[in-house]
Amino acid sequence: MSLRTLSVLLAGATLMGGLPAHAQTYPGRDGGGGANASGQGAGQGDGEEAVGERRGGRRLAVEPYIEASQILTAQLSPGNDVVTYTQLAAGLDASLNGRRSAGTVSLRYERNFGWGDAADSDTITGVARGSLEVVPRTVTLEAGALAARTSIDGSGANVFTGQNNADFTTQTYSVYAGPRVQTRVDDVEVTGQYLIGYTKVESPDVITANGDPVDVFDESVSQQAQARAGFAPGTYLPVGVGVGAGYYREDVDTLDQRVIDANVRADVTVPITPVLAVVGGVGYEDVEVSSRDAVRDANGNPILGPGGRLVTDEGSPRTIAFEATGLIWDVGVLWRPSRRTSLQAGYGRRYDSDTFYGSFSFSPNPDTNLSIGAFDGIRGFGGRLTNSLSALPTDFDVVRDPITGAVVGCVNAVTGGSCLDGLLGSIRSSVFRSRGVAGNYSRRVGRYTAAISAGYEQREFIGAPGTVLAAANGVMDENYYVSGTVGGEIGRRGTFTVATYANWFEGGFGANDLFGLGSSASYSHAFTQSLSGRAAVALNYLDSDFTTEDLKTASALVGLRYGF
């Protein structure tokens, strides 16, 4: 195996293991398509208000920049090859915090020129999230987008930052937008939202260690709508009461897969003490996952199209892969002793099985945060991604790999949360049920900030009987990850960041396990107000069933950056 391939597998392997976890708000327990039993949010609005206050009313900050860097990657095992690249990049970092609008954008284009046998490549990466009050305090328009370059191995695990190699590289794009409504009629709070998202993955042919093709996700459109009306305890009744409805639909291009989830429910909040309440809800839900079969040859084998993807047989009947219709319910507790501490946890029945949900946030001061969240929902790859984008705050800091420049997380300045919580871990086209937990702790002391994150996600794939996806039905991928970062200022002109990650991916499709471990350090020194120099080093290790030997590389970068 060439160093060009090894450098992809090892250079900055952080998209799955190196991401700090984000404590998301999960209306309806899975982030969309349902009503919140407690009738209250998870405090995200409080966090955004604190950000605006701490920034002292700063409204707009825009920094376009250009960079020139030299990168060296050395193979430590197996072999001892060395390759180098010249990297030219241009980007834009911007943030807006106004009375009626807020948002953050980080966009970067880079061109890598390979020396010798090293391949040329170009990349667009970035994250954006914004909101605009169309009608003050009533109607808000929200939007977000992600562009990420990653690499995948033969397990279908989308776990590595793509660096200068076309054979394993995949580009993922996702965008969503929609209105959110919040108003009051007397003492009744009325909320509603509609979001539509689109996700596209550009990928080459991917094969397993046995030479079999991997069914890679292509594109999907997801839509979700929800509405709720309710009143708090002590208004009309001693208890709080709410009614709501939700609808979710995702259309996956591969085999015309479709997810439909519609539900109605009523919920009640029973105060026990001024800071503790019992919450519960009951309702009716209709869930259906279906697909068509693939086009097959004379021997009954599925035919593959561009990128190794399955070709849909449009004339085949739509087949039900999963359905659940009937009563849903949950019961739990809500504890909110202060504006900066909140706990919600519960148990219920959904999808004809047990379900657990919960979230915990603790921010004793603006510089310290602990957040934990549990989730459960049926989605495709695109719906899972756009749902996490919509859960982002409008004010965050983008974390990029110091060598590759790839987006590896978005850290909110106050809450310490991240954009992505391992959701890029599997790129297979099959719809899945996603269950897991993610947590993050961050602390700022003077000029230094430290954070540690950990998470677990299980994806159980759903495939219709009699179709090519039937083999995937019930198969589970599991992903465990942990990461830590420390950064801050050195003197008046220097800044540094040190990051370490570990990741375990257990693939359900045969021998497809992997373990990744790595660390990086970067330093930036400002020569003038606009010109700065930067240097970075990284060590990465990968033990994958897709390769016969463990992979180890060391990378280094030196460069200049000019900000306008």
Please tell me what DSSP assigns to residue 19. P
Please give the Cα distance from 323 to 174 (Å, whole number).
27
Backbone angles phi, psi at 425, to 5 degrees: -65, -35
Query: What's the pLDDT band for 160 if we cut at 50, 70, 90?
Result: very low
Q: Which residue has the tokens 């090293």?
A: 118
Q: How far is Cα of residue 513 from the mean position of the Cα atoms in its chain?
A: 21
Please give the residue that has the higher pLDDT: either 39 or 434.
434
Residue 159 clears pLDDT 90, i.e. is over it: no
What pLDDT, in 10s, does the model give residues 255-265?
999 999 999 99
Give the pLDDT confidence of 362-406 residue by residue, as tens digits. Answer: 999 888 889 899 999 999 999 988 988 888 888 877 778 888 888
* Contacts with 481 (C-beta within 8 Å, 6 or more apart), sequence order: 16, 17, 18, 19, 422, 453, 454, 455, 456, 501, 502, 503, 504
Query: Does the structure show a pLDDT above 70 at 105?
Result: yes
Query: Residue 153: which pLDDT band, with cuts at 50, 70 and 90?
Result: low
Q: Is the pLDDT of residue 111 over 80?
A: yes
Mean pLDDT of 344-364: 93
CA atoms lying within 13 Å on the CB side of residue 547? 21
**Using CA atoms, how far apart are residues 152 and 158, in angstroms rounded to an integer?**
4
- Token output for 345: 């946890």
Tell me the pTM. Answer: 0.83
In angstroms, the Cα distances linking 272 to 97, 337, 343, 462, 564 are: 38, 12, 15, 41, 57
pLDDT tens, residue by residue, 5-26:
333 333 333 333 333 333 222 2
Q: Are 174 and 356 in contact (CB under 8 A)?
A: no
Name which of 119-133, 146-160, 172-186, 354-368 the model is least confident about: 146-160
**DSSP code string of 321-387:** EEEEEEEEEEEEEEEEEETTEEEEEEEEEETTEEEEEEEEEEEEETTEEEEEEEEEEEE-HHHHHHH
Between CA 112 and CA 116 the distance in angstroms is 13
CATH number at residue 553: 2.40.170
**Residue 72: exposed, middle, or buried by beta-carbon count in 10 A (0-12, 13-18, 19+)?**
middle
Find residue 361's DSSP bridge partners.
Answer: 342, 371
Structure tokens at 169: 């590289």
Inter-residue contact 216 to 307 (CB < 8 Å): yes
> Which amino acid does the sequence have at 495?
T
**Residue 547 in this model has a pLDDT that exceeds 90:** no
Please tell me the total count of domains within the chain.
1
CA distance 375 to 29: 6
Q: What percent of the chain shows pLDDT beyond 70?
A: 80
Tens digits of residue pLDDT in 437-460: 988 888 888 899 888 888 899 999
In what helix (H) or strand (E) does residue 362 lie, and over which residues does it extend? strand 353-365
What residue numbers bound the domain in which 270 lies? 3-563
| Bond prior to 179 in cis (omega within 30° of 0) | no
The average confidence (pLDDT) of the chain is 82
Which secondary structure element, helix H or strand E, spans residue 48, and what is its range? helix 44-54
Question: pLDDT at position 511, please?
Answer: 57
